[in-house]
Amino acid sequence: MRGLLTAIAIAAAVLLGYALSCAVRPYRDCWLCNGKGHHRSKGNRKLSRPCRWCRASGKRLRFGRRAWNRARRVHRAAG
Ligand SMILES: [Zn+2]
């Protein structure tokens, strides 16, 4: 049982740290354009296109923050 408790404590600590990091920095650089908001097309290297993945903002809302926003919306709708 001691090992299980330790595993739960570690998982809780990791989750808490992740939640905190999502609260402090909800956005991260887009993986497709590296935060630039646009990227070179593969066919024509001179052509720079706005990034569709981040809608040319260069930032992506992190998964944890998206889940948090959704949870809050559901909570507000219920109460
Ligand atoms: Zn992007």
* pLDDT reading at 11 higher than 90: yes
- Confidence tier at 2 by pLDDT (50, 70, 90): confident
CA-to-CA distance for 53 and 21, rounded, in angstroms? 22
Question: Cα of 50 to ligand 1 centre, how many Å?
Answer: 8
Question: Cα of 39 to ligand 1 centre, how many Å?
Answer: 8
pLDDT tens digits along 27-60 = 999 998 999 999 887 777 778 889 999 999 999 9
Question: Cα of 16 to ligand 1 centre, how many Å?
Answer: 28
Question: Cα of 63 to ligand 1 centre, how many Å?
Answer: 15
User: Which of the pair, 22 or 41, is modelled with greater confidence?
Assistant: 22
Looking at residue 57, its pLDDT comes to 94
Looking at residue 70, its pLDDT comes to 94
Please report, for the chain, the start and end positions of each structural domain, with discontinuous segments joined by +: 2-78
